[in-house]
Homo-oligomer: A and B are copies of this chain.
Amino acid sequence: MSSVSLKTEFAGIKLNSPIMTASGTFGFGEEFEDFADFSTLGAIVVKGTTLEPRNGNRGIRIAETPAGMLNCIGLENPGVQFLVNEILPRIGKYNCPIIVNISGNTVEEYGELAKILDIDGVKAIELNVSCPNVKEGGIAFGVEPKSMVAVIKAAKKNTGKPVIIKLSPNVTDIAVMAKAAENAGADAVSLINTLIGMAIDINTCKPVLGNITGGLSGPAVKPVALRMVWQVRKAISLPIIGMGGIMNAQDAIEFFLAGADAVAIGTANFVEPDSTVKIYRDLKKYLEQKNLTDIRDLIGKLRT
């Protein structure tokens, strides 16, 4: 019997562990039923949701890159009403906090979405202001403090739930964005979303992806993500969900040390569908080895 506890609290939400899933990589949880153990998950962050259903991008949607992948899914989703009516009731049975990742074309849409999702079965909302794949909306909000602030305020005004802002790494100074988010009243930040990248097929001389560019994720981006978490940790005092290339407990621990209060697992779910379970197990082992009993003893403990 291990006396190590991974239980924690994030923005007022009680979590079984600080291990969450990254939006868009874990569906609605159900898809991973055979591999995940929902009692070890801190939260399921579901696929990016919009007011209306969306078809996403045409053509090829993923490409593998060295130690990473590009995606241009383009926010395909069944729309918020379907989520509320059909999916949330279904996944409630996991007894795992559900965080809904939302995306809007306008500031008002974020507000509207926040209002619709201010219901039981939703523990928090995560604002995706950085998805690089959708021409209207998305991108603009995430790289410019003013519009990001407007989005946060619109969301806050319309919900009693914690509002998590997901920061884009495609900015000159992530700390500036984080501070703006803190001042705007966000309850937490998550970072990073994907870096914008591209791949070319030299046989056809065409871009590999249907949308030309896509979002880079996976181990390749980990050094950048880790650096940004560390920068943001120094800049603000809001809780942080760290993500970007976390494949195993070692990676997760690096994020905790850098200052993440929770981590989210993304691309790793595609590589090992039981990644979250393994990370939970190995994280416990690490704490035991280090004679720590509480995951919170690790957070921000980087010695510089």
Contact = CB atoms under 8 A, between A and B. Distances in A.
A302 to B, nearest CB: 6
Nearest to A252: B202
Report the copy number of this chain in the oligomer: 2
A257 B196 contact: no
A170 interface: yes
A222 interface: yes
Nearest to A249: B202
Contact of A219 (B67, B144, B302, B303): B67
Given A143-B172, A172-B143, A197 B65 contact: no
Interface residues of A, number: 46
A254 interface: yes
Given A67-B67, A205-B302, A302-B206, A199 B223 contact: yes
Given A172-B170, A258-B198, A222 B65 contact: yes
Contacts of A303: 204-206
25 contacts: A65-B222, A65-B223, A66-B219, A66-B222, A67-B219, A67-B220, A70-B223, A143-B173, A144-B172, A170-B172, A172-B172, A195-B223, A196-B224, A196-B227, A197-B222, A198-B226, A198-B227, A199-B226, A199-B254, A200-B253, A202-B250, A206-B302, A212-B304, A216-B224, A219-B220
Given A250-B202, A254-B202, A257-B205, A197 B245 contact: no
Nearest to A169: B195
B213 A227 contact: yes
